[in-house]
Structure 1
Amino acid sequence: MLKTVATAQLQISYEESGEATGWPVVLLHGFPYDIHAYDEVVPHLASNGARVIRPYLRGYGLTRFHSTATLRSGQQAALGTDLVELLDALYIESAVLAGYDWGGRAACIVATLHPSRVRGLVSVNGYNIQNIAKAREPANAEAEHRLWYQYYFHGERGRAGLAENRREFCRLLWSMWSPTWRFSEATYRQSAVAFDNPDFVDVVIHSYRHRYGLVEGDPKFDEMERLLAEMQPIRVPAITLEGSDDGVTPVGGASESLRYFIGRHENRILAGVGHNVPQEAPLEFSRAVLSVYKRSED
């Protein structure tokens, strides 16, 4: 059932499934995807007693800002704050958090800074918190070419290109990042509607400029960004997932980040899977969520 709830900056639109009294799990999508990435994950979790929450991130779907004056920030602290405030608004004391890409980043942030709110964590590509202080240091050529879209967004040509061709552009990313996933046009169109959000372009552009220190963030999040810069470890029960065919972060690309997991942690590599793990491998993703939930109960 599609619902809405108010936080400090947003009216968040979210889908809720399962029993209202079930154990809560929040499933968080990435860029450029939406809550439909979890369509096949939800039944597995709901049948195992979960109350499943799937929010549209800021800039996606029917989620809206309260005020036209609010900076359309896509910085990592904004995503983390939105998630904490969503839990507060839904009166959820603690939940299993699971996500990838932007959503995995939000989940890692809350697991790091508010571990009492997190019963367990599933994160694709490891520790997704951005080290902005090192963002301007070049990587090797193989890693750099995979991030071409981020550098494209650093200029106004990139902003205009995303605004004018968002459907075509995002579909290209789906294909490049999941080269072995044969998704249908109907599947893509179902998610692409979420990119028609009036704030989508502004939030995306701000995200990819802020992470490189090219624009200022929202002052509301300055203190959280300071804490995130410390790159604190994650202590909650966690499973990290890697797709063997991920076109953004190849297998092993997140290996250095795994040292930040100092609690009960397991890394799983999924053969034949690209970047959009929950939609490409819903059973494996569901099993990871159920595993961390059971560990939290031990």
Structure 2
Amino acid sequence: MLKNIDAGVLNITFDDAGPADGWPVILLHGFPYDIQAYADIIPGLASNGARVITPYLRGFGPTRFLSTTTPRSGQQAAIAHDLLALMDALEIKSAILVGYDWGGRAACIVAALWPERVRGLVSIGSYAIQDIAAAMKPAAPEAEVPYWYQYYFHSERGRNALIQQRQSVCELLWRQWSPTWNFTPQAFETSSQSWSNPDFVEVVLHSYRHRFGLVEGDIAYEATEAALAELPSINVPTIAVDGGDDGLLLGGTRSHAPKFCSSYHYRRIEGAGHNLPQEAPLQLVQLILELV
């Protein structure tokens, strides 16, 4: 059931499923996706006693800023604070966090900086905290290619593409990042409705510009960004997982293992790409249940 609640600087819309007194799990989507990524996961968790909270991130779907003066930041610290604010508003002291892409980054940050709020972590893409200080260090040319969209969004040409050709840009990303996923036009159309949020463009552009140090962040998150600049380790029980066909995280993220200091298991799901929750829901449910 969709609900909404004031949490921090947002009115967050979220799906709330399962028993109200169940063990809490929060499912966090990425860009350019939405909560539909978890549609086939929610019932499996709820039937196993979970209270499943699946929010629309800032800039997506019906989630809205409470004030016109709040910066439309997409920086990593902002998304993490949104997650904390939602947990506070719902009076959830601690939860299992599950996320990928932007959502995985929020989950990793909360696990790293506020471990008492995290019972366990399923991080699709492993350690997702951004090393902004090193963002201008080039990778091998072939490794840069999948990130063309980020460099595109640094320009006004990229802004105009998000405004004028949003669905085409995002559909291309879906296909490149999940080359073996034959998603239906209906599945794409359902998620694409979430990108009509009036703040989508500004939040997305800020996210991809801030992570390269090209724009200033929201001063409200300055202390958190300073803590993240230290690239803190994660000390909660973690299952890190990659899609074997992920067209963005080439080579996988097994090398991230040293950043996890509690119980840690790495898994790779073949036949799935970047949007792993929607591509391999049954396998992901089983991984989540391993942390219960």
**Fold-level similarity (TM above 0.5):** yes
Quote how far apart the aligned CAs of 1:251 are: 3.1
CA contact (8 A) 1:251 1:269 kept: no
Instruction: State the TM-score, normalizing by the size of structure 1.
Output: 0.97
CA contact (8 A) 1:243 1:250 kept: no
Aligned equivalents of 2:241, 2:23: Cα separation in 1:
22
Provide the residue aligned with 1:291 in structure 2. 290
Aligned equivalents of 1:257, 1:226: Cα separation in 2:
21
Q: Deviations over 1:7-32 (max 9, x none)?
A: 22100000000010100000000000
Q: Deviations over 1:200-237 (max 9, x none)?
A: 00000000000000000000000000001111111111
For 1:264, the aligned partner's letter is S
CA contact (8 A) 1:109 1:129 kept: yes
Aligned equivalents of 1:5, 1:190: Cα separation in 2:
23
Provide the residue aligned with 2:251 in structure 1. 251
Quote how far apart the aligned CAs of 1:48 are: 0.5
Greater shift after overlay, 76-85 or 242-251? 242-251
Instruction: State the TM-score, normalizing by the size of structure 2.
Output: 0.99
For 2:55, the aligned partner's letter is P
Provide the residue aligned with 1:2 in structure 2. 2
The answer on 1:46 being equivalent to 2:33 is no
For 1:291, the aligned partner's letter is E
The answer on 1:197 being equivalent to 2:179 is no
Provide the residue aligned with 1:266 in structure 2. 265
Aligned equivalents of 1:50, 1:42: Cα separation in 2:
9
CA contact (8 A) 1:75 1:217 kept: yes
CA contact (8 A) 2:244 2:268 kept: yes
For 1:145, the aligned partner's letter is V
For this pair of structures, how many residues does the alignment match?
292
For 2:128, the aligned partner's letter is N
SS in structure 2 at match of 1:13: strand
Quote how far apart the aligned CAs of 1:33 are: 0.2
SS in structure 2 at match of 1:146: helix
Unaligned segments of structure 1, at least 5 residues:
294-298
Provide the residue aligned with 1:227 in structure 2. 227
Q: Deviations over 1:239-296 (max 9, x none)?
A: 01111110100233x2332210111000101111100000000011111111122xxx
For 1:96, the aligned partner's letter is I
Q: How does 1:1-298 map to 2 (within 5 A)?
A: 1-252=1-252, 254-293=253-292
SS in structure 2 at match of 1:216: coil
CA contact (8 A) 1:60 1:200 kept: yes
Quote how far apart the aligned CAs of 1:5 are: 0.8
Greater shift after overlay, 166-175 or 93-102? 166-175
CA contact (8 A) 1:236 1:264 kept: yes
Provide the residue aligned with 1:296 in structure 2. none
Aligned equivalents of 2:291, 2:276: Cα separation in 1:
17
SS in structure 2 at match of 1:5: strand
Quote how far apart the aligned CAs of 1:67 are: 1.0
For 1:103, the aligned partner's letter is G
Aligned equivalents of 1:22, 1:185: Cα separation in 2:
35
CA contact (8 A) 1:248 1:275 kept: yes
Greater shift after overlay, 134-143 or 254-263? 254-263
Instruction: Indicate the RMSD between aligned Cα atoms, in angstroms.
Output: 0.7
SS in structure 2 at match of 1:27: strand
Unaligned segments of structure 2, at least 5 residues:
none
Q: Deviations over 1:100-152 (max 9, x none)?
A: 00000000000000000000000011100000011110001121001000000
Quote how far apart the aligned CAs of 1:59 are: 0.1
For 2:286, the aligned partner's letter is R
SS in structure 2 at match of 1:292: coil
Aligned equivalents of 1:53, 1:147: Cα separation in 2:
30
Quote how far apart the aligned CAs of 1:91 are: 0.2
CA contact (8 A) 1:37 1:278 kept: yes
Quote how far apart the aligned CAs of 1:167 are: 1.1
Aligned equivalents of 1:5, 1:288: Cα separation in 2:
29
